[in-house]
Structure 1
Amino acid sequence: MTSATDPRPLPAATRLIATDLDGTLLRDDKSVSDRTVAALAAAEEAGIEVFFVTGRPARWMDVVSEHVHRHGLAICANGAAVVDLHAGGEVLQVRPLDRKTALAVVHVLRDAAPGTSFAVELTTGIHYEPGYPPFHLDPGATVATAEKLLHEERPGESAPVIKLLAQHPELAPDAFLSLARTAAGELASFTRSSPTALLEISGLGVSKASTLALCCAQRGISADEVVAFGDMPNDVEMLTWAGTSYAMGNAHPDVIAAASGRTVANNEDGVAVVIEQILARQTGTP
């Protein structure tokens, strides 16, 4: 593995930069540094598209919405939604989790890990069970059992489910993820991005990587022309898919193993460091 100070992992021509947000582009205080703002603007000015690829829902994209330039697109909810940030987070494409499948996952995890509580992320907002830690950013959420939250009178009449969340108060995060994948991995895609035992569950085959690949194919961009950044297990598939990828200095061990390179931590503007190197190489400036 090479570091951000070594230019060898950079492709000859970068056409798209795909970056995670929390723990990657954002500093720990959720801000975007002046250096990073300048690097993003310079990349787009040079004709390189910048995609924010995150586990966040569209309504939580205000942290970067003012730093979106030409394209305005972001991949949210770990690949379950493509949104237009220029249009206030309008959802353009959804790759939903089937409600019956989500309910089957709930039942399997309750048996495999007693004490698990659930939240249901819809295109219209999040709702959760009484035992689930409350979302203070979403005070209007419905609180009910997962069965009630996932029920619909007629198939297809309710807002699509883009993510199921499962939280356990005692299990170690990686152990919970491993248990869930073993117990229900044939039903859905499981990942995590929180430092706690909080799992993010999407439709089978839905990930940051698979949706990014679809978006790139629509633009005639190959994986070899993509540089990706991430820090947590929900970034692993994307970093593996991209032709060039960087684990942040603060990254999870699985991310470090998956990436082709490593940059400095998010609080040290690790994404900006690499973007500056990309631009220097493509423009021939020192």
Structure 2
Amino acid sequence: MTVKMIATDMDGTFLRDDKKYDVDRFREQLKFMDEKKIQFVAASGNQFYQLKDFFTPITNQYKIDFVADNGARIFMANKLIYEATVTREQLQKVIEWNAKNPASHNNLIILTGNHGAYVSNHAVDQVLTEVKSFYNPVYQVEKLLEIQDEIFKVTFVWPNKQVQAYVTALLAIFGDELHATGSGFGSVDVLARGVNKASGLSKLQAAYNITADEIVAFGDNNNDLEMLNYVGTGYVMPNAYPAMHEVGFKEALADNNHDGVLVTIDQILENI
């Protein structure tokens, strides 16, 4: 198997539940990958700023690329090469849909922009603390529709973790102009049409002249489906959502809390 790119989701996949990973082990893998000209990509619903923070101990030595915001922003190291925004009109439509949806009474709206993430100033401290574990920086605002920033992603977070019905409803109404996907932890991301992790990888793939068959990817959730179907070899985590195990992907050698991505990468690199 020829491998020229390895891409991985972060939460529930590359990262342990405490948001940590084996830095020294990963550094050694990157050293080998750098010698073999294999690109490493963090492909996540997280913002670019948050993703950079995870890899601060390493990026001064080795280059990492980023498919951030579920594909809405693509970076080669620190260089932005692509972004897709949600228009003001689209933003208003989906927020109005949420306001009229009876099941959305207690949900949280997060807007991801160029300068950070935005939530209502009505968010309580406990909720704000949880948001800050996924977004950096976070700003509280009075009116979401008056934010002076480009918005790449709208996230709705429901207390009920079963969100597929909301994804289906959003796609039924807005599918001609927007994309919606479940993103774990009771959240649904709304993005520009055609934007997902696979479309993000395709931008990097073109830049490096790599074929999809030469890419390996890891994931655990619905927002990884397009990516895992797109690449030559897709791995699903043992701890993934049950439906992910029914698609026919390979299974990583351990779960996220036992460094499953790193363990599997070691096996892949041994055969190169």
Same fold (TM > 0.5): yes
Q: 1:38 to 1:259 in 2, by over 3 A?
A: farther
Counterpart-to-counterpart distance in 1, 2:5 and 2:161: 38
Counterpart-to-counterpart distance in 2, 1:219 and 1:64: 22
Per-residue CA deviation, residues 100-153 of structure 1 (Å, 9 max, x unaligned), is 11211122232234414422111111112245542346576132233333xxxx
In the TM superposition, residue 170 of structure 1 has moved relative to its aligned partner by 4.5
Residue identity matched to 1:60? Q
In the TM superposition, residue 207 of structure 1 has moved relative to its aligned partner by 0.6
In the TM superposition, residue 18 of structure 1 has moved relative to its aligned partner by 0.7
Counterpart-to-counterpart distance in 2, 1:217 and 1:209: 12
Partner of 2:68: 76
Counterpart-to-counterpart distance in 2, 1:72 and 1:171: 31
Counterpart-to-counterpart distance in 1, 2:225 and 2:97: 25
- Residues matched between the structures, number: 259
Answer with 258-267 or 34-43: which moved more: 34-43
Q: Would you say the 8 A contact 1:239–1:258 is kept in 2?
A: no
Per-residue CA deviation, residues 37-60 of structure 1 (Å, 9 max, x unaligned), is 433332233221111111111121
TM-score, scaled to structure 1 = 0.81
Q: Would you say the 8 A contact 1:246–1:259 is kept in 2?
A: no
Q: Would you say the 8 A contact 1:24–1:230 is kept in 2?
A: yes
RMSD: 2.3
Q: Would you say the 8 A contact 1:97–1:203 is kept in 2?
A: yes
Written as runs of structure 1 = structure 2, the 5 A alignment for 1:11-22 is: 12-22=1-11
Q: Find 2:55's aligned residue among 43, 64, 82.
A: 64
Tell me if 1:121 matches 2:119.
no
- Percent identity between the two aligned chains: 28
Name structure 2 gaps, 5 residues minimum: none
SS of the aligned residue for 1:56 comes to coil
Q: 1:171 to 1:254 in 2, by over 3 A?
A: closer
Counterpart-to-counterpart distance in 2, 1:174 and 1:84: 32
Residue identity matched to 2:64? G
Residue identity matched to 1:96? T
In the TM superposition, residue 229 of structure 1 has moved relative to its aligned partner by 0.4
SS of the aligned residue for 1:163 comes to strand
Answer with 38-47 or 232-241: which moved more: 38-47
Counterpart-to-counterpart distance in 1, 2:115 and 2:74: 14
Q: Would you say the 8 A contact 1:127–1:142 is kept in 2?
A: yes
